[in-house]
């Protein structure tokens, strides 16, 4: 995995599933991160090959729930992001998925309560020795690249010092979200503090924060001297932000996402959540489209809503033939 001069889809909970990753890649994303999955959950899973879909599924034992789904087409660009607070547990979880992904990333930036309450996410930022233990354990025992994603600390020099310590573990790259833990999405990303990190390290630094148009990729590169650029909300709102030819109409992006959700048999709750995120930015969930998405119970319902009934039937019939 080469982390230089890349456009990167950020890890996003309930959004970064296989259909959305493939959508972003179709429009030009070079590297696509999956949604953060907690190590406790992964170690309760087993790897299964899904011949009908042509995917590899990480499935929870006992329930059959698909926790992570990937496919050969994204093998060289998909990054599995993990939430963890223990080196050996992280290794046990990573060993289950590492053969099917391009790299493994440790989340050290999530400020949400479910993450920090377990000592994961941004809770790790104040535990450099634990960070070192987790990353070195993964590096020494796995053949895939290991990376991590952090937020800014209270003082810029503290962020730089932590980043330097992370670099000593042998990670392949470091993603830096240009906000501090208390900051909210509406607060401007501090590109100057990302620049401090990029200037201090020799490994690739991936800059993240306030990228909403294709032109912003170059703007943040110029401002930070980062190796690559990661985008989150800008990609949710219109995944064609990755296209050098310019964004395509929002309506077309939604339909293409629905088609990919059908093709990869995505979880209906995940698909609805992502569509609602798309709609809420440009419109309102209280208008007919939003209400219809909310009321949809199946992918067939969404196919009908977005005029993809024929595609749904085609995919369904193809699967029936494979299974007989």
Rounded-to-integer distance, Cα 288 and Cα 298, Å: 18
What's the burial of 5, exposed, middle or buried (CB within 10 Å: 0-12/13-18/19+)? exposed
Cβ neighbors of 181 (< 8 A, separation 6 or more) are 111, 122, 125, 151
Rounded-to-integer distance, Cα 95 and Cα 102, Å: 13
Catalytic residue among 45, 71, 98, 110: 110
Rounded-to-integer distance, Cα 1 and Cα 3, Å: 6
Cβ neighbour number for residue 246 with a 10 Å cutoff: 10
Q: Do 34 and 82 contact (CB within 8 A), yes or no?
A: no
CA 27 to chain centre: 16
Cβ neighbors of 148 (< 8 A, separation 6 or more) are 105, 106, 107, 108, 131, 135, 166, 171, 174, 175
Q: What is the DSSP letter of 189?
A: P
**Does residue 146 sit in helix, strand or coil?**
strand
- Alpha helices in 238-297, H assignment, sequence order: 250-263, 268-282, 288-295
Q: Which two tokens stand for residue 176?
A: 């830096």
110 noted as active-site residue: yes
Which residue in this structure is represented by tokens 């990937």?
A: 70
What dihedral do alpha carbons 90, 38, 174, 140 form, nearest 10°? 10
Nearest to 148 by CA among 195, 81, 212, 100: 81
Q: What separation, in Å, do the N-terminal and C-terminal C-alpha atoms of the chain show?
A: 39
Mind telling me the catalytic residues? 110
């Amino acid at each position: 995995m080469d982390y230089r001069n890349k456009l990167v889809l950020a890890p996003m909970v309930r959004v970064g599933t296989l259909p959305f990753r493939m959508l972003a890649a179709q429009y030009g994303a070079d590297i696509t991160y999956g949604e953060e999955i907690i190590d406790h959950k992964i170690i309760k899973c087993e790897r299964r090959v899904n011949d009908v879909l042509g995917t590899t599924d990480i499935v929870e034992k006992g329930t059959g729930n698909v926790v992570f789904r990937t496919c050969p087409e994204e093998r060289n660009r998909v990054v599995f992001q993990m939430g963890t607070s223990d080196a050996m547990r992280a290794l046990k979880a990573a060993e289950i998925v590492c053969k099917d992904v391009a790299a493994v990333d440790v989340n050290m930036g999530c400020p949400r309560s479910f993450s920090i309450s377990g000592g994961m996410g941004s809770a790790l930022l104040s535990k450099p020795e634990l960070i070192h233990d987790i990353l070195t354990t993964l590096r020494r025992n796995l053949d895939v690249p290991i990376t991590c994603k952090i937020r800014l600390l209270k003082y810029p020099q503290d962020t730089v010092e932590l980043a330097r310590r992370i670099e000593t573990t042998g990670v392949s790259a470091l993603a830096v979200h240009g906000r501090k833990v208390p900051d909210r999405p509406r607060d401007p990303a501090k590109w100057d503090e990302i620049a401090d990190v990029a200037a201090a390290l020799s490994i690739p630094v991936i800059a993240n924060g306030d990228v909403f148009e294709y032109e912003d990729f170059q703007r943040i590169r110029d401002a930070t001297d980062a190796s690559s650029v990661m985008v989150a909300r800008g990609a949710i709102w219109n995944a064609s932000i990755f296209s050098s030819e310019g964004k395509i109409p929002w309506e077309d992006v939604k339909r293409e996402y629905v088609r990919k959700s059908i093709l990869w048999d995505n979880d209906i709750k995940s698909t609805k959540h992502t569509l609602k995120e798309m709609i809420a930015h440009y419109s309102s969930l209280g208008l007919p489209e939003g209400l219809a998405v909310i009321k949809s119970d199946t992918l067939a319902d969404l196919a009908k809503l977005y005029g993809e009934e024929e595609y749904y039937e085609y995919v369904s019939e193809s699967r029936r033939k494979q299974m007989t």
